[in-house]
Amino acid sequence: MAEFRHDPGHRRWVIVSTDRQRGPGDYNIPARPYDEGVCPFCERQEGRTPAEIYAVRGGTPPDKPGWKLRVFPNKYPMLATDESEIQRGAMGVYDWINGVGAHEIIVEHPQHYVLFHQFGVDHLTEVIRAWRLRLNALKEDGRFRYIMIFKNHGESAGASINHQHSQLLAMPVIPRIAAMALSTAREHFHTKERCLFCDLLDQELADGSRIVAKNEHFACYIPYASRFPFEMAILPVAHSHDFAALGDELLRPAAEIIDQAMRRLAALFGDLPFNLTIHTGPNTGKSPRRAGYWSSLKYDWHWQIEIIPRLAATHGFEWSTGLYINPTPPEKAAECLRQVKI
């Protein structure tokens, strides 16, 4: 009928259907609106965005055509991106911090209709290099405790613009799910002197039933207690807490595993809405606060990429309870993704 499965990183129980299973053909993918010609992220529309911070260009001047990838501040940032100091305060039982941060857009490709899974490994390598570069730059700012790199594709995944792009949000707090996973991993290491996610990866690689793809340096699998059908995790095989410290020799293998994951997903579902998030360790940066607290971070945390396809409607109670129902068993999802022709 169904079983409860426990995710040891996030301490959550998920109901996984085991009899009334939904396969790839049972999901309806929402169409995306046609919007060519109105897109501020297209080549030759550079004047409609803030000035670029970084770009991959063949010698052309900034904010002009002739680029492969562009990074600029979000025109409508979620947080104030000025030089303000962080202010923290209490109000009775509550606490507040002023809304200071950074919010950047990485336009990943000059052409409007090229989708993420169509980038190819060379181009994806440049995207990953840009993520690493901007993360390293923002880590220098001691005000920021946490830096999220995420990508929304499709309206139901939160994207307001179709043109392939990712975002970077730096902030003075650690968001709740990240804080919880971090504290769980920390407790595991404290007890066992082993990384929780190394343990988990060992088990997944030995078992194999949830593995989607792997190469010498990375593995992609469907988490045992996935909340969403066809949800994927990508982890480096060698322990590392910090995506920003990714070595040059790992850029291409990282691109290869993302390419595998996305092309397999696209082979099953075509152009589907999804969220991709890089979960890297919190920023110890230049902030002296709690330096001792963060000193074990390099052992505790294991950076990872989370890919959530938006295939199924939610049940309504996820927001209030944290309970999820996944109608596609992870082993079945992994098998479909492994076997599909790409």
Binding segment (CB under 8 A) for a copy of itself, from list 114-122, 243-251, 256-264, 317-325: 317-325
Distance CA 327, CA 305 (A): 22
Residues 79-138 that bind a copy of itself (CB under 8 A): 79-80, 91-99
Closer residue to a copy of itself (CB): 62 or 322? 322
Residue 283 CB burial class (10 angstroms; 0-12, 13-18, ≥19)? buried
Closer residue to a copy of itself (CB): 137 or 307? 307
Q: Is 159 in the site for a copy of itself (CB under 8 A)?
A: yes
* Cross-strand partners of 17: 2
Q: Is 308 in the site for a copy of itself (CB under 8 A)?
A: yes
Q: Is 199 in the site for a copy of itself (CB under 8 A)?
A: yes
Q: How many residues bind a copy of itself (CB under 8 A)?
A: 69
The DSSP result for 255-269, as a single string, is HHHHHHHHHHHHHHH
Interface with a copy of itself (CB under 8 A), residue from 157, 161, 251, 340: 157
The backbone region for 321, taken as left when phi is positive above 0, alpha when psi lies in -120 to 50, beta otherwise, is: alpha
The backbone region for 319, taken as left when phi is positive above 0, alpha when psi lies in -120 to 50, beta otherwise, is: alpha
- In the chain, the amino acid numbered 82 is D
Structural contact between residues 33 and 23, judged by C-beta atoms closer than 8 angstroms: no
Q: Is 4 in the site for a copy of itself (CB under 8 A)?
A: yes
Q: Is 152 in the site for a copy of itself (CB under 8 A)?
A: yes
Q: Is 331 in the site for a copy of itself (CB under 8 A)?
A: no
**SS3 call for 196:** helix
**Site of interaction with a copy of itself (CB under 8 A):** 1-6, 8, 10-13, 15-16, 18, 78-80, 91-99, 148, 150, 152, 155, 157-159, 169, 171-180, 196, 199-200, 203, 207, 224-225, 227-228, 275, 277, 279, 306, 308, 313-317, 319-323, 325
